[in-house]
Amino acid sequence: MNGAGNDFIILDEISNGIIPVPSSLISKMCDRRFGIGADGLMIISESADSDFELRYFNSDGSTGSLCGNGSRCALMYFHKIHKSGNKELCFTSLLKKYHGEIINDTTVKFMLLPPFGLNCGINVTLENYDIKLNFIDTGSPHVVIEVSNILKKGTGTPLYNSIEEVPVSVLGKKLRWLDEFQPDGANINFYEIKNGNAAIRTYERGVEEETYACGTGATAAAIIANIINHLPSPVSLVTKSGRVLIVDFNGSGESAANLSLTGPAEFNFNGSISI
């Protein structure tokens, strides 16, 4: 499945029973040349107190934190494959309970828990760059950088005129492991506001490259843009795939309540693989 171009392999233990998937197999399955190819892998299983349990893994085989686009896909998968008549569903992941709503055949609204760890205006000097960045955790840790705050070192001059010019993978690799974000590192998001519209590109940890969209990253960028650029909620963000994610909330910053992420959740194909 894919959520705005952020794609996932889904394994269903409700239908198939326990599926043994060591990290080495996950990374092989997610490989785009020697496997199925995906940004991550999710396992759906039965839950005693939710509609289902969700486990998420990064494409390198490591255990992932909350994935917003993946969560929407999992909700849509359960609704369609297990023929849930309910359009409002809940699942458990990493001992936390999440809720979502099926809007239509291709769109899901996912409710996130309150964000935390807000830290705005962190100044970083890196090789040829002076960068002002912001941090917030929306279920996954995210650095959020406005494109105009990527400056040529020592000059105060912006290096890039548009988000399309930003070398996301190059800067993402450099910023992802900063001391401030140890031991697990952070995802790196770049955003731009033009004529009241937001565009976003994301370097994802665990994938270790730019992805076509990141749900928790879009949520983080919307909250930061609301604080810094006074962009009102709901915030629409155009992802690298060209698909739009909508982030809605009441309040501001860590006080953002009723935080939701609405966007596409679509099936790509199904099949079988020998494990």
Per-residue pLDDT for 49 more than 90?
Answer: yes
The last residue of one of the domains, among 89, 111, 133, is 111
pLDDT of residue 275: 77
- Classify residue 273: in a domain, yes or no: no
HSE-CB at 272 with a 13 A cutoff on CA atoms is 2
Same domain as 143, residue 90: no
Per-residue pLDDT for 273 more than 90?
Answer: no
Stretch 260-273: mean pLDDT, rounded? 96
Stretch 113-132: mean pLDDT, rounded? 95
Q: How many CB atoms lie within 10 A of CB 52?
A: 23
Token couple for 247: 């982030």
Same domain as 90, residue 14: yes
d(CA 195, CA 181): 32
Same domain as 171, residue 86: no
Sole residue written with tokens 């609204």: 109
The last residue of one of the domains, among 111, 132, 147, is 111
pLDDT of residue 144: 98
Residue 256's pLDDT band (boundaries 50, 70, 90)? very high
Q: How open is the CA angle 56-171-125, to the nearest 5 degrees? A: 120
Residue 84's pLDDT band (boundaries 50, 70, 90)? confident
- Classify residue 21: in a domain, yes or no: yes
- Classify residue 207: in a domain, yes or no: yes
Same domain as 123, residue 106: no
Phi, psi for residue 252 in degrees, rounded to 5? -150, 150
Which residue in 109, 112, 185, 111 sits closest to 143, CA to CA?
185
pLDDT of residue 258: 97
Q: In sequence order, which residues have a C-beta less than 8 Å from that of residue 145 and are 6 or more positions away? A: 131, 132, 133, 134, 188, 189, 190, 191
pLDDT of residue 208: 95
Residue 183's pLDDT band (boundaries 50, 70, 90)? confident
Sole residue written with tokens 């879009």: 218
CATH number, domain with residue 61 = 3.10.310.10
- Tens digit of each residue's pLDDT (9 = 90 or more) over 139-165: 999 999 999 999 999 999 999 999 999
Same domain as 19, residue 121: no
Residue 274's pLDDT band (boundaries 50, 70, 90)? confident
pLDDT of residue 106: 96
pLDDT of residue 234: 97
pLDDT of residue 155: 95
Same domain as 89, residue 141: no
Per-residue pLDDT for 204 more than 90?
Answer: yes
Same domain as 102, residue 236: no
Handedness of CA 173, 178, 181, 185 (dihedral sign): positive
Mean pLDDT of the chain: 96
Same domain as 164, residue 257: yes
Same domain as 120, residue 101: no
Q: If DSSP codes are grouped into helix, strand and coil, which group holds residue 180?
A: helix
Going by their DSSP bridges, the two strands 107-111 and 52-58 should be labelled as unpaired
Same domain as 102, residue 69: yes
Give alpha helix (H) positions in 10-122: 13-16, 23-30, 68-81
- Classify residue 274: in a domain, yes or no: no
- Classify residue 27: in a domain, yes or no: yes
- Classify residue 275: in a domain, yes or no: no
pTM of the entire structure?
Answer: 0.96
- Tens digit of each residue's pLDDT (9 = 90 or more) over 227-243: 999 999 999 999 999 99
d(CA 234, CA 225): 11
Per-residue pLDDT for 34 more than 90?
Answer: yes
Per-residue pLDDT for 170 more than 90?
Answer: yes
d(CA 55, CA 93): 6
Same domain as 210, residue 76: no
Q: How many CB atoms lie within 10 A of CB 105?
A: 10
- Classify residue 53: in a domain, yes or no: yes
Going by their DSSP bridges, the two strands 257-264 and 107-111 should be labelled as antiparallel
Same domain as 209, residue 134: yes
The last residue of one of the domains, among 111, 141, 174, is 111
d(CA 138, CA 186): 12
| Distances, alpha carbon 5 to alpha carbons 160, 225, 251, in Å | 25, 23, 29
- Classify residue 269: in a domain, yes or no: no
Could you list the residue range(s) of the whole structural domain that residue 95 is in?
2-111
pLDDT of residue 93: 96
Stretch 87-113: mean pLDDT, rounded? 97
Residue 37's pLDDT band (boundaries 50, 70, 90)? very high
Number of domains in the chain: 2
DSSP 253: G
Catalytically active residues are: 67, 214
